[in-house]
Structure 1
């Protein structure tokens, strides 16, 4: 019935029926950080708990990667980032744009069908930075390679008085406001394609973050409140107000990638000391406040009833306690709080703690309040889901790893799992493939920051293949690769097929077989 309504003829008639879409992406927030998901949490998240009561909770949701940049690429393109030039790690300061100029993004797709679009928050997908000498920025080292000496030198050649090219407003968004990456230079806000103010100072060594240029008066604690205010302003904006380019007669898509609780762990005074998990827990509670502000703005603007509101995280948490705005990995556990819940591993790892994330969605009248789904979903599914919601097809060269999860969102019957399989990826480029209860990991260790890492695991004589039955072993403690060689072979072949064919979603005239 919904699709019938959405495919009514006439663009204006269609857009009147399309919902607004708000996608809130926390940064480094674990499954166990949400109080309604973790009975042992030392953090209170009343607004997320309310969102869960008013919508659906997905208990088996996954980011496309265990780290920042690749997940964001996958959300916006519906394509696994390991298909791009970035095969491991993340983008670093002054890296160029990662999303290909001709690639269809979720923002671009929704614009084609009558939406106004905005990105407010952390971009972390690269820019074409203007230079003082007219040379191309960062032609010395490839994207994702960390070389602090070269990157520090590049900062001195950026022309901040000029337009920054190939950022969000060229990748499907009408409007952008954010600080790119909170612990990377330049330390300033960027609006559309220009910095707000000139970063003419050098960040003091006493301030958290990588070295580089900064605007005078930059305050790390004010980043999250500023982003929250801007998102609320956007939701409530009148027609054509300011730089928003909002058209009140059109639906809007707001992609709202937060900077918290990623380092710098910088909760404002209003939140300091409010959790039972140190500064990190306080920062998570500030994230929850931001979610509440968005929910309140939608209600006050009279839009809540026709808005699909999604909250999730870009990967698992490293579990830093917030000491000096950072802290060692897993240090927050001294408070008795585990951001990874019962899962093995943390951010960056191939294990569940790296990519198994909270996911809530609310859409009044379409999503059953208080519902729950154990369907396996991935962040790359946003593009295909929105296409189905609008009743519009995707071209075959877009959303190659994006499945339509609308049936699961709306509690509709379906006869087999939505995804044939899901590919996971760690910070060092290690692969895993999940189908049903089986999870195959093509590495000896964590593939990330937890011990043992891959090199350590090999030195320990651990096998270079891991196979887990997650229905019996959610903590990934019993490697079954010897007992089930046929499962290893089938999943290895399927992963290779996905790599060779450049897509994991079957084309319209094909179907997939499912491994029981």
Structure 2
């Protein structure tokens, strides 16, 4: 962005009658290529595509883990999951730990600056009352406490898995309430068991719209965190929009999410607050490829959820803020969910607490313009929290254990986005440099790691 345009953008932010509202939409297991604006030829997403046309696409945007819980902890706190001891895979209904309420979250931040805050959707950072959203700065919570393929109270009696098992469930819409026992929570109370997963995406949007309407009526700025349960399996949509062919289930679910995004954006326009609202749309990790047509696509990236290849942690991201973000633009520079806390604080001109530190950078300049990204390196951890690699500039090093042997892989992502050519044997000096740096970062994180709430268990 030209300096004059950047100054004008800053002036617009200062001149806003009320502080800039913020909405973060976080889908579950949506792949890099699962939006029209990111190249999908099979999924129609006109509403999200319109956000991209009026806003900015980020094509090198990373989540901090290839699985749910650690990724969500990183987004809300701006910290690598290992720093806050939320790195050891996902939580289950019998888990007795969660995100420590002492951690400073996006909701804590905006609440401290007079914003109304709401979490509507999948939490998955601890289902005990002590660690549900209202313990982390949210005024209200409405959603499911963990993944939609988990059953209350002990995760027993779950249906058969695999793509074939998901076909059976899709062919029986009633299975949403007969085969699952996933709870719906309001604030700290379970209000429905099971929740009807056919309508949950729409109900989340209903609740989000009610929240936005209430804030507009009170002329109060708001932060809305909208983490959708889907397209994590099992997939469901309302009966009246359901495609009977299970091979179209994933397409059907994404297109339904897109419709709901359209409803929310229409509400902003009708309330005449669209020009004072910033939306971030992204996903918690890559697609669950083992579920075939019940999972998405990360093409042209390699692999998907659960892996440290680009398909596991590079996700689609669109940011929209009419009058603030230049329309129909693309940013290819590195950014991460780790950066959202300091970046959103900067854009909304809400100061972080004195002395606050996190692993994120203030990337407001690349959101609002074309300045160089402050992020030049990113560390990869496995789904179980083991140090796995690092990216510095175009170079990416992965160190993976296979058959009890360490395998080193070096890729130049500028020339080989699909990670097909291992350059480690040709560039031992680059391998050594990246290896040293990733160990330095991991050593510092390990030394300064903070405790989770409760007692860690993995069941």
TM range (shorter): 0.7 to 0.9
1:275 touches 1:281 (CA, 8 Å); kept in 2? no
Cα deviation for residue 332 of structure 1 reads 5.4
Residues 1:50 and 1:270: Cα distance change in structure 2 (over 3 Å): farther
CA deviation string 1:17-41 (max 9, x = no partner)? 42000110011100111122115x3
For the Cα contact (< 8 Å) 2:125–2:131, is it kept in 1? no
For residues 172 and 189 of structure 1, the distance between their equivalents in structure 2, rounded to whole angstroms, comes to 20
Helix, strand or coil for the counterpart of 2:319? strand
Task: State which of 452, 457, 464 in structure 1 corresponds to 2:407.
Answer: 464
SS at match of 1:48: helix
Distance (Å, rounded) in 2 between the aligned partners of 1:2 and 1:175 = 36
Pairwise CA distance, 1:99: 1.9
Following TM superposition, by how much is the alpha carbon of 1:301 offset from its aligned partner in structure 2, in angstroms?
Answer: 1.7
SS in 1 for 2:121: strand
Query: How far did residue 469 of structure 1 move?
Result: 0.7
Q: What pairs up with 1:174-323 in 2 under 5 angstroms? A: 174-181=139-146, 182-186=148-152, 187-197=182-192, 214-215=193-194, 218-237=195-214, 248-273=218-243, 278-319=248-289
User: 2:76, 2:106 within 8 Å by CA — same for their partners in 1?
Assistant: yes
C-alpha root-mean-square deviation of aligned residues, in Å?
2.6
1:500 paired to 2:443: yes
**Correspondence list, 1:443-458, <5 A:** 443-444=400-401, 454-455=402-403
Equivalent in the alignment of 1:378 = 336
User: 1:350: how far off?
Assistant: 0.7
Alpha-carbon distance between aligned partners in 2 of 1:420 and 1:302, rounded to the nearest angstrom: 38
TM-score normalised according to structure 1 size? 0.74
Greater radius of gyration (CA): 1
Q: Which residue of 1 aligns with 2:98?
A: 98
Paired residues, number: 410
Structure 2: gaps (5+ residues):
1-6, 153-181, 447-459
Tell me whether 1:437 sits opposite 2:394 in the alignment. yes
Once the two structures are TM-superposed, the CA of residue 428 in structure 1 deviates from its matched residue by 3.4
For the residue of structure 1 that corresponds to 2:38, the secondary structure is coil
Q: Which of the residues 318, 339, 349 maps onto 2:297?
A: 339
* Greater relative CO (CA pairs within 8 A, separation 6+): 2
Distance in 2 (CA, whole Å) between partners of 1:230 and 1:73 is: 23
Q: State the partner residue of 1:65.
A: 65
- In structure 2, the partner of 1:143 is none
Distance of 2:56 and 2:390 partners within structure 1: 25
The 3-state SS of whatever aligns with 2:307 is: coil
Alpha-carbon distance in 1 for matches of 2:246, 2:412: 34
| 2:31/2:297 contact within 8 Å kept | yes
How far 1:389 sits from its partner (Å)? 1.8
Structure 1 distance, partners of 2:17, 2:112, is 15
Deviation at 1:194, TM superposition (A): 1.3
Q: 2:138 aligns with which of 158, 165, 173?
A: 173
Which residues of 2 match residues 87-126 of structure 1 at below 5 A?
87-126=87-126
Report the CA distance between 1:501 and its aligned residue. Answer: 2.6
Provide closer, same or farther for how the CA distance between residues 20 and 391 of structure 1 changes in structure 2, counting only shifts above 3 A. Answer: closer
- Could you tell me which runs of 5 or more consecutive residues in structure 1 were left unpaired when the two chains were aligned: 9-13, 129-163, 198-213, 240-246, 320-327, 445-453, 504-516
Judging by fraction of residues, say which structure has more helix: 2
Asked whether 1:366 is paired with 2:324, we answer yes
SS at 1:310's partner residue?
A: strand
Quick check: 1:43–1:276 contact (8 Å CA) kept in 2?
no
CA contact (8 A) 2:410 2:424 kept: yes
Compute the displacement of 1:5 (Å). 6.0
Contact 1:55 1:369 in 2 (8 A): yes
- Seen in structure 2, the aligned counterparts of structure 1 residues 330 and 411 have a Cα distance that, compared at 3 Å, is same
Q: Residue 116 of structure 2 contacts residue 215 of structure 2 at CA under 8 Å; is this kept in 1?
A: no
Q: State which drifts further: 396-405 or 171-180.
A: 396-405
Q: 2:101 & 2:258 partners in 1: Cα distance?
A: 34
Q: Distance in 2 between matches of 1:390 and 1:111?
A: 13
Secondary structure at the counterpart of residue 360 of structure 2? coil
